[in-house]
Structure 1
Amino acid sequence: MSTRNPLSIILDQNKLTGPNYHDWFRNLKIVLNSEKIAYVLDKKPPKEAASDVSETELAKLEIWWDHDLQAKNYMLASISNELQRRFEEAANAAEIHLHLKELYGVQTRSERHATVKELMTTRLRDGTSVHEHGVRMIGLIEKLMGLDVVIPGDGKKQEAYRW
């Protein structure tokens, strides 16, 4: 019987519920890296060994399948019950990772909308320095860039404003 990874407590304390995907995934990678099995998140294991495979290759495949099962179990143990039911029949850790990344890894439309709305409605308030306001606006623009928001122009070259 193997001993429990002491780092796995961070997964117990930070179960995936959806919106916390990035934090959960970072914690999962910490645990899987400590076990030296994080590679299974990106690569699907072969389904079956060929009939003419050598003993050495078969041993490597069995290790891969063991690592994949271990990673899959860490993942399932650290997600909400609803998500567990959804992914308990998944073939491997890479498949679960792919689906969770599709569900929660990409920033949602509502987050992009909220950030654009905040940018467009932010005004310089009395008592706030212009510098603080500028830093806030730049932060919102950088957040939008991180969310891959493209703000289209009118296609014409922008000329400097003349006062």
Structure 2
Amino acid sequence: MAAPINNTLMSLITQSKLTGPNYEDWHCNIMLLLKAEGLNSVLTEESPTIPSTDMDGTEDIAEFTAEQLKERVDIFKSYHQRDSKTQLYILNSIDKSIVEFVKGISSAGDMMAKIKELYSQQDTHIEYKLVDKIHSLKLEPETPVLDHVMKIQNLFEQLEGLGSEKFSLKYKRNIIFKSLPGSFSPFIFNFNMNKLDVQLTELGNILQEVKRAIKKERQKCTSPR
């Protein structure tokens, strides 16, 4: 049953090749494939050596029996076969423009390290943009408050999904309060004074009612007497 699973994973990574911005998704997919193929360990293994007769710092072949030498050769061949297969999977899963950056790299582990060096830092840029968006978002006059709250909640989920710290509910509520116009100030003051504790969806519903009340009060004040 392993083959269909592996074929599905291989299809997934070849259809969604690494282009740069999708590094995290690509890394997850390629690691799933390598694990399914029993190849993920080759990324962290050191290349085994074969005893040699040359005076080059390697082990002396004379110190090994024929059986021990055969075992070492088999380990050497197995490692390089697995490493070569892993390199092929990696090369088939990345865009042609990226292949140029890993050409000439001799091991799958070094290939993955190079790709990580090139593209994992993009998460930092994405994270910065999300933080900036969260802190600069303001409630638009015609936007339902619940939609606004859910948008901020979604941005926090994206940020936390990048491996960022988990933000407290209180902090998220304060960010939402900061994004509201001054007309919500009395409600925010009372909310904090009474130390209320509600989830963001419930808060969105409450704020929606507050907005209706504010609108009704304004209409009452501006209507002719």
Q: Structure 1-normalised TM-score?
A: 0.72
Distance 2:156 2:29 in 1: 28
Q: State whether structure 2 residue 40 is matched by structure 1 residue 38.
A: yes
* Among 67, 74, 80, the residue aligned to 1:65: 80
Matched to 1:6, the amino acid is N
CA contact (8 A) 2:16 2:26 kept: yes
Q: State whether structure 2 residue 132 is matched by structure 1 residue 105.
A: no
Alignment size in residue pairs: 147
Distance 1:148 1:11 in 2: 25
Matched to 1:129, the amino acid is V
**Corresponding residue for 1:74?**
89
Matched to 2:32, the amino acid is I
* Moved segments of 4+, more than 6 Å: none
Matched to 1:76, the amino acid is L
Q: Structure 2-normalised TM-score?
A: 0.54
**Corresponding residue for 1:87?**
102
| 1:108 to 1:31, Cα distance in 2 relative to 1, 3 A | closer
**Corresponding residue for 1:24?**
26
The higher relative CO (CA closer than 8 Å, separation ≥ 6) is in: 1
Matched to 1:128, the amino acid is P
Taking only the aligned residue pairs, the percentage that are identical comes to 23
Deviation of the 1:136 alpha carbon: 4.1
**Corresponding residue for 2:197?**
none
Deviation digits for residues 118-148 of structure 1 (CA, Å, limit 9, x no counterpart): 1122123445336x54554455456556465
* Among 77, 97, 111, the residue aligned to 1:96: 111
CA contact (8 A) 2:86 2:108 kept: yes
Q: State whether structure 2 residue 15 is matched by structure 1 residue 13.
A: yes
Distance 1:112 1:86 in 2: 25
Distance 1:99 1:124 in 2: 43
Deviation of the 1:57 alpha carbon: 2.8
SS of equivalent residue, structure 1 residue 33: helix
CA radius of gyration, larger in: 2
| 1:44 to 1:14, Cα distance in 2 relative to 1, 3 A | farther
**Corresponding residue for 2:145?**
129
Q: Which range moves more in the overlay, 138-147 or 103-112?
A: 138-147
Greater helix content? 2
Distance 1:19 1:34 in 2: 25
Unmatched tracts of structure 1, length 5 or more: 150-160
Deviation of the 1:72 alpha carbon: 0.6
| 1:32 to 1:108, Cα distance in 2 relative to 1, 3 A | closer
